Structure 1
Amino acid sequence: MIMDAVLPLWRHMGKNPLWASFKNPSGIFKKDELGLEIAQIAVPAALALTADPIASLVDTAFIGHIGPVELAAVGVAIAVINQASKVAIFPLVSVTTSLVAEEDAKGGSGGAYQEIEIVEKQLASDNEKDDLIPKTEMICNRDKKRSISSASSALIIGGTLGLIQAIILICAAKPMLSYMGVKSDSPMLKPALKYFTLRSLGSPAVLLSLAMQGVFRGFKDTKTPLYATIIGDVANIILDPIFIFLFRLGVSGAAIAHVISLYLNSLILMWKLMQEVNLLAPTMKDLQLSRFLKNGFLLLFRVIAATFCVTLAASSAAKLGSTFMAAFQICLQVWLATSLLADGLAVAAQAILANAFARNDYDKVVATASRVLQLGLILGLILCIIVAVILQFSSQIFTKDVNVLLLLQLGIPFVAATQPVNSLAFVFDGLNYGASDFAYSAYSMVLIAGFSILCLFLLSSSNGFVGIWLALSIFMSLRAGAGFLRIGSRTGPWSFLRS
């Protein structure tokens, strides 16, 4: 069995199940059934997750050559848009992935199977059993789509939230930028407002495409979202210099190029999803809106807490001045892009665990959790080295400003050193979501964010730019610690580890 190498560790692990997860690293890269399943989900998911921050890095690189003020302005706008999007994106995607995986595991079948059952009864009553097999095969070939009601729920909620978010962002653009430190007399206001308003028009496409990604993840299909994301981001990279420099639209051109790529991504995913799933559920009850809203609100509080912490850090940097904000923006984008590689493992863990928990297959739950934790730690250590080396010698790609480059030298050690911690934090998130442990994820994050915000105020006031990054490092360390505590204490959905 795929878990033979791991189960003995957990069954004889004594008081701490997490220690057993790390003390036998020899099977980390083993190409068994579980290893291949994790790789097939995690690698495309990681590439897709990293593609969007990379696209933002491309925007940052192009805009950085316009000037440091424009770079700082776009940095503030992106920070607000990203954090506002996360408020809706992560609850939507995480809940969708878990519910779709559970429904698929329990036999959320396509309409073909229901039709087959009806035909079987009719044929039996008409004494035509000899024709049963070929006729049912004909029906099955005619309709291979799955009827997954949670997929329809995700699209309805995603589309609605996207429209609401676009309206709110556009109407509240100035107050939001002002909160971030871009006041009416700031030279950053005009370019930030242009970029912010235009990028907000892409909100419906963002939330709708992320809802569809959640559906595909629930099916353990991360390749389709990857292909759609790559096509959209390539379009963005091609259109950026055209709109920014050729059409002389500056920061507005960067925003327009990004919005076009978002809608292209969404259209591709919709086209592929309609080929696999019957999107219209027969009744309102089948839409499972209550489950989405209950779990979604729990994760909403979690994301708001985390978002507020990171947004406050960006606001603290903006209040220090455009030079500090420009350096913070570069560090933050690199920090997010590299850390999200580990989120690919989290996606794999969530999809596999949700499916396994639905079937009460605790052996596979244990084996998967152990393997992804080991892989997350190794990935974090590798990223630590890569970021430290590459960012040290490639800073001038983003800006030529000497003062910004000097500040980058202060931020690079934090960006590099936190990679292992970030990787484990993301993996633990995936484990908790796969176990549908949304309540613990929400409440623990609120406590962590509260303490981290206190650290941010104290450290930023006394240590400036370095203090901001020190506070963010504490924030991620506490997130990883919360994951250790939940599984290590064998509580909640992990109580089965006691037996």
Structure 2
Amino acid sequence: MITRVLVSFWNNMGDNPLWGLFRNPREVFKKDELGLEMAQIALPAALALTADPIASLIDTAFIGHIGPVELAAVGVAIAVINQVSKIAIFPLVSVTTSFVAEEDAMRSLKGETEEIKLLEKGFSADSELIPKTETSDGENKKRHISSASSAMAIGAILGLIQSIFVIFAAKPILEYMGIKSNSPMLKPALRYLTLRSVGAPAVLLSLSLQGVFRGFKDTKTPLYATMVGDAANIVLDPIFIFLFGMGVSGAAIAHVISQYLIALMLMWRLSEQVSLLPPTVKDLQLGRFFKNGLLLLFRVIAATSCITLAASLAAKLGSTSMAAFQVCLQVWLATSLLADGLAVAGQAILANAFARKDYERATATAVRVLQVA
């Protein structure tokens, strides 16, 4: 009787999603096909995600040599930029990765199905009727991925809206953050926030492009682009800040240049693989993006509001407290984003598996991601 009860309990627990955490624990770090695919996606993604906070940390180090007032001012401005940018971009990036992975998998399945049907009818493998993956001159055909075009359009539009909004509302926003009109932090914070806002279209466009590459399970290209952009930022920082004597304005300009460089590199690489413009306007999936990104939007607002509130409270304590907060925040961001690389891998593999109706692989991926996390 006891044995039957235990067996029944064990079988019922197998239907509980939480029980997946304890399924085959020895295979957590197994170097099988799934483990290697996750590592190949997650490691470059984690490095790319960490590269920008590290660059911001270096920015912080350079600005810290100017003085605590400037460091505190930049800290408040960055808190505002992070709040506005993450509200706009993180739902977009997450949705883009899933949509692109799903659409690319379905496109691949369609081609495989057509080829099988033609082979069944007696056509040879080299028949002209069978879809080819290469053109006559040996170059890869450009794919039409509607979700990629949609993500780029939304990213560019949201970036322009963010840029215009922050530039014209910079002073009221900073006052709301605790920097009063008589504060020595106001002028440097206003200059930095206004100039950094000019780069908002590039930031949101480049992040949406990164979402597209992640959907293709390519996290190396965003890593290389981010590393080049951040390296340019690090080189330009001391030149603009100290050599040209531009102070916090120089730091903002260096950051904006690096972001436009990243966006241009990603667009150039993507244009070699995908037709950036959709065949028709109707192919854009704008409604689907906004509908699926809504719940993610609420999640991001809740998470980022905590940091913004903390920055506001630190600013009210004075420049010294705010400067200390800024240093600690950048160190924390540089390390906390490591887990997001794993999330990117899980997201891309899951979307691809669901599109192919490979539910066994989807379950295995979900279990492995949870266990590694």
TM over 0.5: yes
Q: 1:132 aligns with which of 96, 112, 127?
A: 127
Instruction: Note closer, same or farther for the CA distance 1:290–1:254 as it changes in structure 2 (3 Å cut).
Output: same
Q: Is 1:345 matched up with 2:342?
A: yes
Counterparts of 2:129 and 2:102, CA distance in 1 = 31
Q: 1:361 aligns with which of 325, 346, 358?
A: 358
Counterparts of 2:312 and 2:348, CA distance in 1 = 35
Q: Is 1:225 matched up with 2:206?
A: no
- Which residue type is aligned with residue 195 of structure 1? Y
Match of 2:5 in 1: none
Q: Is 1:238 matched up with 2:235?
A: yes
Instruction: Give CA-to-partner distance per residue, 1:366-421, whole Å, 9 cap, x none.
Output: 21122222222xxxxxxxxxxxxxxxxxxxxxxxxxxxxxxxxxxxxxxxxxxxxx
Instruction: Note closer, same or farther for the CA distance 1:109–1:265 as it changes in structure 2 (3 Å cut).
Output: farther
- Which residue type is aligned with residue 168 of structure 1? F
The 5 A counterparts of 1:26-425 are 26-107=26-107, 132-133=127-128, 139=135, 141=138, 144-376=141-373
Instruction: Give CA-to-partner distance per residue, 1:150-191, whole Å, 9 cap, x none.
Output: 111111111111111100010010111111111111111111
Instruction: Note closer, same or farther for the CA distance 1:334–1:142 as it changes in structure 2 (3 Å cut).
Output: closer
Structure 1: tracts of 5 or more residues without a match: 1-9, 377-499
Please state how far the C-alpha of 1:300 moved relative to its aligned partner: 2.4
Please state how far the C-alpha of 1:316 moved relative to its aligned partner: 1.3
> Secondary structure of 2:96's partner?
helix
Please state how far the C-alpha of 1:329 moved relative to its aligned partner: 1.3
Counterparts of 2:343 and 2:257, CA distance in 1 = 29
Instruction: Note closer, same or farther for the CA distance 1:37–1:315 as it changes in structure 2 (3 Å cut).
Output: same
Please state how far the C-alpha of 1:296 moved relative to its aligned partner: 2.5
What's the C-alpha RMSD, in Å, of the aligned pairs? Answer: 2.6
Instruction: Note closer, same or farther for the CA distance 1:103–1:52 as it changes in structure 2 (3 Å cut).
Output: same
Please state how far the C-alpha of 1:347 moved relative to its aligned partner: 0.5
- Which residue type is aligned with residue 345 of structure 1? L
- Which residue type is aligned with residue 53 of structure 1? P
8 A contact 2:140–2:273 mirrored in 1: no
Structure 2: tracts of 5 or more residues without a match: 1-9
Counterparts of 2:124 and 2:67, CA distance in 1 = 77
Counterparts of 2:66 and 2:258, CA distance in 1 = 22
8 A contact 1:108–1:146 mirrored in 2: no
Match of 1:398 in 2: none
8 A contact 1:108–1:148 mirrored in 2: no
Match of 1:477 in 2: none
Counterparts of 2:103 and 2:69, CA distance in 1 = 50
Please state how far the C-alpha of 1:308 moved relative to its aligned partner: 2.2
Please state how far the C-alpha of 1:260 moved relative to its aligned partner: 0.6
Larger deviation: 307-316 or 17-26? 17-26
Counterparts of 1:68 and 1:19, CA distance in 2 = 51
Counterparts of 2:267 and 2:257, CA distance in 1 = 16
Structure showing the higher helix proportion among its residues = 1
Instruction: Note closer, same or farther for the CA distance 1:131–1:291 as it changes in structure 2 (3 Å cut).
Output: closer
Match of 1:494 in 2: none
Matched-pair identity in %? 74
Larger deviation: 298-307 or 190-199? 298-307
Instruction: Give CA-to-partner distance per residue, 1:310-355, whole Å, 9 cap, x none.
Output: 2112111111222221121112111111110000001011111111
Counterparts of 1:176 and 1:298, CA distance in 2 = 25
The 5 A counterparts of 1:399-478 are none
- Which residue type is aligned with residue 98 of structure 1? S
- Which residue type is aligned with residue 81 of structure 2? I
Higher-RCO chain (CA-CA 8 Å, sequence separation at least 6): 2
| TM-score with structure 2 setting the length | 0.89
Instruction: Note closer, same or farther for the CA distance 1:254–1:375 as it changes in structure 2 (3 Å cut).
Output: same
Counterparts of 1:34 and 1:26, CA distance in 2 = 14
> Secondary structure of 2:276's partner?
coil
Please state how far the C-alpha of 1:17 moved relative to its aligned partner: 3.3
Instruction: Give CA-to-partner distance per residue, 1:232-278, whole Å, 9 cap, x none.
Output: 00000111111111111111111111111000000000000000001
Counterparts of 2:126 and 2:52, CA distance in 1 = 53
Instruction: Note closer, same or farther for the CA distance 1:333–1:130 as it changes in structure 2 (3 Å cut).
Output: closer
8 A contact 2:192–2:252 mirrored in 1: yes
> Secondary structure of 2:326's partner?
helix
Instruction: Note closer, same or farther for the CA distance 1:131–1:323 as it changes in structure 2 (3 Å cut).
Output: closer
- Which residue type is aligned with residue 234 of structure 1? A
> Secondary structure of 1:107's partner?
helix
The size of the alignment, in residue pairs, is 356
Counterparts of 2:150 and 2:20, CA distance in 1 = 39
Please state how far the C-alpha of 1:135 moved relative to its aligned partner: 9.6
8 A contact 2:109–2:356 mirrored in 1: no
- Which residue type is aligned with residue 318 of structure 1? A
8 A contact 1:45–1:344 mirrored in 2: yes
Please state how far the C-alpha of 1:18 moved relative to its aligned partner: 2.3
